Chain A
Amino acid sequence: MIEVEHLTKRYGNHLAVDDLSFTVGEGQIYGFLGPNGAGKSTTMNIMTGYIAPTSGEVRISGHNILDEPEAARKSIGYLPEIPPLYPDMTVKEYLVFAAGLKKIPRRDTQSMIAELMETTGITDMQNRLIRNLSKGYRQRTGLAQALLGYPPVIILDEPMVGLDPRQIIEIRDLIRGLGRKHTVILSSHILSEISAVCDHIMIISHGKLVASDTPENLPLLMAGTNTLQLTVRTKEQTLRSILNGQDKILSYTLEPSAENGAWDAVIRTETQTDLREALFFDCAKQNAAILNMQLSKMSLEDIFLELTGDEETQTEEGGDDNGSNLPQRS
């Protein structure tokens, strides 16, 4: 369905997308996840043919987006980060215009628009000028535009922005429903949105694909460690000797606890090991009272933070996420 090969986009010295390759199969929902400025929007803008890559190739249903742009774009519905709406048109006029652009046969236009306005919940707004709509309604109008003609590939850049919680659930269900017949790619910097709807998550950081797997498998991908948080009321010396006695501990840190006379330890172990019982009996032997003990497995959230973690360049890249903020000259 969608094949992306060695995609690179360079703005001057800044590398927005760095050698990105992936394939998206039919009838799947893929999620792009990454912090702001990771290159999600740039990638999507290249996939839809809005901007050209510095190098690399994108094929949609076998059509190269640069060589056969019209054939490739015919099978794409795209909702960019900022919905491309004309403020001087009404919602309905706009959708009729977009249907014309997408070459939808005129006899189907009216019924399809009515249907999509119903699905996205903008039927009541159809005769309002887009200028007067709130952010949420604009977002929905943009979404209706992307779904016009039910193209086989639907690309949504941050589709949930500006929607209220109930609307998010509705749109989420809508996207899930679409995923049965269409290939859907959506991006977000919010993990819960992605893991709720996507069959497959691709984590992007600094323009690079750092992980790509199902939401269930991603935690296994990490040569992960478990952390055990422990608060014990005892002397530092005693606690150290207890912890040093356990050979399965990879590393630990120790600091005075907020609780009086107690020490906090953060212990890292292999994923398979569970030291809770052993530590309990060791502490009991030394008359050290355990006040708190908690085992935390690595969540998707942690993986996301760890994979995209090196912050030093993130602030300066903020503006480049949006492909249309191109510098005037290259």
Chain B
Amino acid sequence: MAAIYRREVKSFLNSMTGYLFIAFILVVTGIYFTAYHLRGGYPLFSYTLEAIVVIFLIAVPVLTMRILAEERRQKTDQLLLTSPVSISGIVIGKYLALVTVLLIPTLVMAVYPLVLTQFGSVSLPESYTALAGLFLLACSFLAIGLYLSSTTENQVIAAVLTFLVLFVCYIMNGIANFFPETASASFYALAAAAAAAAFLLYYMTAHLMIAAAGFLLAEGALTALFFLRPSVYEGLIQKILGIFAITDRFSEFTNGIFDLSGVIYYLSIIVFCLFLTVQSIQKRRWS
């Protein structure tokens, strides 16, 4: 794990990718910082941080796209997977390397609030809470990118997929608001989702009976619930989609609240994505 970590960090800092990532984030942060705080005289650093979330949607895929996809294309995964290192060790080593590269611009950003204190009173705890929130948010982005990089051997596909997934998460709140909050809307959406899941089950297992039984069971349960307790469905679709609205949790941090549930939320996303990555590598060995 340590060997993989060292190699990855070195590889990022020996090539353009790492510097491109760091420079891109710092340049955009600098622009917003100058505009909002130095010129605008606004004291809350979280304003800048909120503005640069969009930048991570582009910067993260650039950093994560090659991390596992390239191993597969170059067949260097044969070295990793046949050496006495566990798959989770490989995945964690790689992930920590990504986080280390992210840490560099984050540490530079940590200087900015100190600069602001030269010009007036600035709440440092509030600023650093927001920065910690941004760091967690970006860490969960990195975990998503790592997972998607493990699903393909093409860097470009990995980057585009990561961008799309992050973008959909970014606008998830808007998507959720498309749906009416009535119980029937949620019911229809869930019924359609159950049908899609059953079809997927059939596609993957090729067992018509199992898929059909699952389909009937799920639809039956949903329908029964709809007639017995329709109140459960009210706003349910918004709640479900809200789980995927990764960037929304960040707003608590920008308000200066160190939201523990937000921390747990981000950590679970990271753990879940790392778990998926391990599974995706495992699965490929068995196919």
Instruction: Chain A residues near B182: list those with CB within 8 A.
Output: none
In-complex Cβ contact of B78 among A50, A71, A100, A103 (8 A):
A50
CA distance A299 to B278 in the complex (A): 50
Q: Which of A17-25, A76-84, A261-269, A279-287 contacts B (4 or more CB under 8 A)?
A: A76-84
A42–chain B nearest beta-carbon distance, Å? 12
Question: Which range holds the interface residue count of chain A?
Answer: 35 or more
Residue of A nearest to B15 (CB): A88
In-complex Cβ contact of B74 among A86, A98, A330 (8 A):
A86
Asked whether, in the complex, the Cβ of B85 is within 8 Å of the Cβ of A88, the reply is: no
Residue of A nearest to B70 (CB): A86
Q: Is B6 an interface residue (CB 8 A)?
A: yes
Instruction: Chain A residues near B83: list those with CB within 8 A.
Output: 73, 98, 101-102
In-complex Cβ contact of B79 among A70, A71, A101, A329 (8 A):
A101
Q: Which of B241-249, B252-260, B279-287 contacts A (4 or more CB under 8 A)?
A: B279-287
Interface size on B, residues (CB 8 A): 27
CA distance A102 to B83 in the complex (A): 6
Asked whether, in the complex, the Cβ of A84 is within 8 Å of the Cβ of B287, the reply is: no
Residue of A nearest to B90 (CB): A101
CA distance A254 to B166 in the complex (A): 77
Q: Is A244 an interface residue (CB 8 A)?
A: no
Residue of A nearest to B151 (CB): A328
Asked whether, in the complex, the Cβ of A76 is within 8 Å of the Cβ of B2, the reply is: no
Q: Could you say which of B10, B15, B82 has the most chain A C-beta atoms within 10 Å of its C-beta?
A: B82
Main secondary structure of the interface of A (DSSP, over half): loop
Asked whether, in the complex, the Cβ of B287 is within 8 Å of the Cβ of A145, the reply is: no
Asked whether, in the complex, the Cβ of B86 is within 8 Å of the Cβ of A84, the reply is: no
Q: Which of A170-188 contact B (CB under 8 A)?
A: none
Q: Is A289 an interface residue (CB 8 A)?
A: no
Q: Is B239 an interface residue (CB 8 A)?
A: no
Asked whether, in the complex, the Cβ of A84 is within 8 Å of the Cβ of B76, the reply is: yes
Asked whether, in the complex, the Cβ of A49 is within 8 Å of the Cβ of B81, the reply is: yes
Q: Could you say which of B4, B11, B14, B83 has the most chain A C-beta atoms within 10 Å of its C-beta?
A: B83
Instruction: Chain B residues near A51: list those with CB within 8 A.
Output: 285-286
Asked whether, in the complex, the Cβ of B77 is within 8 Å of the Cβ of A84, the reply is: yes
Asked whether, in the complex, the Cβ of B82 is within 8 Å of the Cβ of A48, the reply is: yes
Asked whether, in the complex, the Cβ of A88 is within 8 Å of the Cβ of B11, the reply is: yes
Asked whether, in the complex, the Cβ of B287 is within 8 Å of the Cβ of A49, the reply is: no
B68–chain A nearest beta-carbon distance, Å? 14
Asked whether, in the complex, the Cβ of A326 is within 8 Å of the Cβ of B284, the reply is: yes
B7–chain A nearest beta-carbon distance, Å? 5
Q: Is B80 an interface residue (CB 8 A)?
A: yes
CA distance A56 to B75 in the complex (A): 25
Q: Is B84 an interface residue (CB 8 A)?
A: yes
Q: Is B107 an interface residue (CB 8 A)?
A: no
B169–chain A nearest beta-carbon distance, Å? 26
Instruction: Chain A residues near B72: list those with CB within 8 A.
Output: 324
Q: Is B111 an interface residue (CB 8 A)?
A: no
Instruction: Chain A residues near B76: list those with CB within 8 A.
Output: 84-86
Asked whether, in the complex, the Cβ of A70 is within 8 Å of the Cβ of B85, the reply is: yes
Closest 3 CB pairs of A and B: A100-B3, A84-B79, A330-B287
A sample of 5 inter-chain contacts (CB < 8 A) reads: A80-B78, A80-B82, A84-B74, A101-B84, A326-B284
- A residues contacting B by CB (< 8 A) are 45, 48-52, 69-71, 73-74, 76, 78, 80, 82, 84-89, 93, 97-103, 145, 324, 326-330
- B residues contacting A by CB (< 8 A) are 2-4, 6-7, 10-11, 14-15, 72, 74-86, 284-287
